[in-house]
Structure 1
Amino acid sequence: MKTKTTKPDSVIVIAMDEIPLPSTYGAAEMKFFIRKNTYRGAIIVLILLLLCLLINFVMVTVEKQAAEIKVAPITKTSLEELPPPDASETSDLPPPPDVVINTGPAARAGNPIPVPDAMIAPDLQDFATVDVADRASSKGGTGEDLGGFAGNIDWTGDKKVETTTIKDKEPEPDEFIPVEKEPQFDMRKLQGLVVYPDMARRAGIEGTVVVRALVDKTGKIVKAIVDVSDNKALDQAALKAMLDYGHATPAIMNKEPTTCWVSVPIVFRLK
C-alpha cells in the first residue's frame, strides 16, 4: 500500500531589525495640519483682497480729483456796495464818437459792368430800379429804405473815394474753364524762338514737349509748365521759348477775353 508524502510549506524568516515600528503620524495629525494651513490661507487671501480694494479706492479718488474742473471763486457784489467813480479819471475821457446811421437802400450806385450770366450768384440776380439806384450810395445802405437818400452819401465831395482793384483768381492747370475760343499762337514764331540744347544736339535727342501755358485776358503768358515730354533734356528750352513768346491772342467767352490754360506742342527736330 502506497502512502503520499507531502512537502512542508516554505518558511519566511524575518530578522528583528526589519520589523517596522508603529507610526506616530496618523489621521489626527493630518486634520491638525489641514486646519492650520486652511486658516493661514484664508488670512492671506483676506489681506490681499483688502489690499486690492485699497488700491482701487486710491485710484478712483485720484481720477476724480484730476477730472474736476477748477473754477475760480465767484465774488458777488451788489451795486450799492460799489464805490463811486473817481472824478479825475472820468474827466480825462474823450467824448464818444458820432454815430452815423447808414440807412437807405442796400443797392450800390456806380457804373454797371457786364458779366456773364453764369458768374452771377442766385442772390444777386435781382436788379435795383432806377429810383433806388438814384438814391443809393457807392457803399450801399443797410437795406432800411425809408424813401430817402442813403445816409453815407458825400454831398460835399470832400471825402476821398478809395478804389480797390479786384485781382482775378488764377485758375489751376487742371481746372475746367469754359471758353468759346481758345488762345491762338503763331506756331512759326514760337518754333523760331526754340533754342536747341547743346547737350541734346550732341546726343541726337529729338522729340516733342507739350507745354501748358496760362494766358490772361490781355494775352500775356503768365505761367508755363511741362505737360508731356519725350525727353527731360528738352523741357527747359521749351518753357523758355513759351515765356519768350510774349503775347498771344486771349481766349474768348461771351464775346469777352478771359484767362485760361492752353496746351501747345513744341517740336524738336535735328536738321
Structure 2
Amino acid sequence: MSAIFTLDSLPSSFTDELKLPYRKYLKKGLIYSIILHICVVAAYGGAHYYQMYKQEQETKNIQQRIINVSLTDLEPPPSALDEETPPPKVEELTAPTKDLEALTPQPVAKEKADVETIKTQKELEEIKTPVSSTGDTGKFNYSGVVKIEDKKIEEKIIKKEITEEKEKTVYQSFEVEKAPECVNLQQVRSSMVYPPMAIEAQIEGKVTVKVLVDPSGNVIKIGSISGPEVFRDEVSSKSMQLQFTPGLQNGKPVKVWVTVPFSFKLN
C-alpha cells in the first residue's frame, strides 16, 4: 500500500524549516512585483505625456507659420488690363515743317569762316514761307492757313483701331458678351481633400483662384490664388479639372479669365 503524508503527519520541526524559506521568497516576490508594476505604469505615463507634448508643439508650429505669412508673400492679383495691348496712340497733328535752312545761319569753324554758303535763286523761289522785308530776325512766324488732310488721318486712326481689335485675344469676364459658366464645379469641390495639416491646426477659410478658359471651355492656365496658404496646392491641382461653357465675344468663342471660389470648412 502506498503511504500518503500530510503536513499534520510530519514532525513540527520539519514543517517549520519549510515555512521559513517560503515566507522569505514570498516577501521578495511581492516586493519585486510591486516595483515592476510601478516601473510599467511610470513608463506608460511618460510615453503618453511625451506624445501629447509633441502633438501640442507641432500644432503651435503650424499656427505660427500660418500667422507669419505676410501680405508681401502673396502674389498680386493680375491687373484688369492683363494681357491687353495698350490703346492706339493718336498722332499729333502738326504743321508741315518748312525749310528754314536759308533763314537760320549755321555756325562754322574759324578756319572756314571766309567760306560762305549761299542758296541759288531757284532754291529761294522754292521756299514758300514768307520772308520779312526787314531782314532775317531769327524767328519764324507764319500766319497762313495750314492745310491738313483729315481724310488720311481718319483712315490711319480707323486702321489702328481695327488692328487693335484683331490683336486682342484674351478678355476679362466682365468684357465679353457671355462669360463662361462652370459645368462641373460641384464635382471638383467634392473631389478635393482637406489637408491634414489644416485639420490638425483647425484651419478654415476661402480660397479664390483665377483661371484662363480657352474657346473650347478647358482651363489652360492658372492665374493668381488668394486665401490661406495651406489650401493653395490642393486648389491649384484640382482647378485644372474644371470645365466651362465657352465665353462669347461678337458671337465667337474667345479666351476669358474667370474667378472661381472654394470654401474649406471642418465638419
Q: What TM-score do you get using the length of structure 1 for normalisation?
A: 0.35
Larger-gyration structure (1/2): 1
